[in-house]
Structure 1
Amino acid sequence: MKKIITIGTLLSLSLMTLTACTSEQTVQQPKIEKEKEGSYSNELSGFIYQNEKEPLYFAGTLGYLHSVNVKELKKEQNQLRVTSEIALYEVMEDETEENKDIYKQDVIYTIDKDSVREELEEAQYDDPKNMILNKVVLKTPLKEGNHWSQEVILGDGEEYLADTKIEKITGEKGERNISTVTTVKAEGFEDYPNQQYEERAVYQEGKGLVSFERFFPNEAGGFVFEYHLDEQKTSEHKKDKE
């Protein structure tokens, strides 16, 4: 099966996440009410970026670039919904010109008492299996080895059984990093390693999803696509606003 990488496909990859990497500067999170019985988990909410004033900038494989802007924080019954806009952008050769947005789309994180669910809009893509549109990305207890099965919807609109596992937790409380892997084993993934679809992500406490990677099959055999926070760009933008 031949795969051709295009902007549309990379756009679908960008929707897999909100992220931020380790930074010397602490990101200020909005104050959230003390957790009450039956309400959403403050511990889980700490792993989703919530700063509406400071956009984040990311870079990745093949010159991939996107930004993240938190649009809305909303409490709904016993949940907290965080809506962010992800924009794929192009850097202009003339430094006096602003970056040009190529495509924009929303991602929603819903936090309840024991899980975080990510919801993505349908996007353009060449290979419809290139993204999971809706899945639980974190679930308590937050400890190594915790795993859960779930029905997920991929870009082709079909449901698949997926398994998500917390592989590793590093750092002290307040600065923890949680590494997860989500695996889909089903027919139709013959061009993928071990004939299965896999996404790897790292969530950092106080900042959000700090990195994302997955295998991307193509006619040359495929490669690992990844993106991460561009700390320099994010820091420069913050200084420009001060």
Structure 2
Amino acid sequence: VAFLYGALMVFTASLLLKFYYLDFSSYASESIEAVQALAGDAFLLLAVSLAVLLVDVVTSAMYPVMVKEFRQGKKISFRRAFSFALQKFWVTVPAVLAYLLIFSIISFPFIFFFDLAVVSGNFSQLFFSLLGVVAVIFLTNVLFYFIYPVSTLEKGNFVSALFSTVKLGQKDLSMVSKAAVFPFIVSLANFAVAFLVENPAFLALFVFLRFLTALVYSYHLVLNPVIYFEGRI
């Protein structure tokens, strides 16, 4: 999953660079065709991202189940965890999609100003809008930190899962922030390097960071339900 997201990062970075270098002052047929091609690529990116997200949600939902089994002294079963994750599919997936929707709504003003900055070439506005998006990403990551253990292990629909997730995230904001910050930094660095993968050295760095991301997130997906259970004691 980490490498699928890596491919999406490179594709996203490529689209953003194409968008940045578009000539918005020209109405020539070449410019119109470039915009249409970019829109088609963006739609493809959205479709593939959704497919990868579904795989990610199901696999991520398995970890709380396996941690619970370990804490109960049971033998960990990937098949049982996968089966349980599928049973909770219509809670976990809508909860994650709702979380992404909330993020999109909050970050929309910053993305809007980012687009304006690209068109106008205002670099200071570009910087602050990007900073705003990064801040929103981290904030929502913290508030919805327990979305997988809550939506997978607790009873109720995805709406109750969202409220419980935010409530737990606010309960120990300091610990959750510390737990979330390192994976966030690694992902941010990885995405930044994705813009430079045409250079072989940066491509190698990108691949290394994807390996690191896979390791960090595997650990993080175990740590997440551990913190959840500790908070429930």
Instruction: Please classify the TM superposition score into its range, dividing by the shorter chain length.
Output: under 0.3
Relative to its length, the structure with more strand (as a share) is 1
Tell which structure's C-alpha radius of gyration is larger. 2
- TM-score, scaled to structure 1: 0.27
- TM-score, scaled to structure 2: 0.27
Relative to its length, the structure with more helix (as a share) is 2
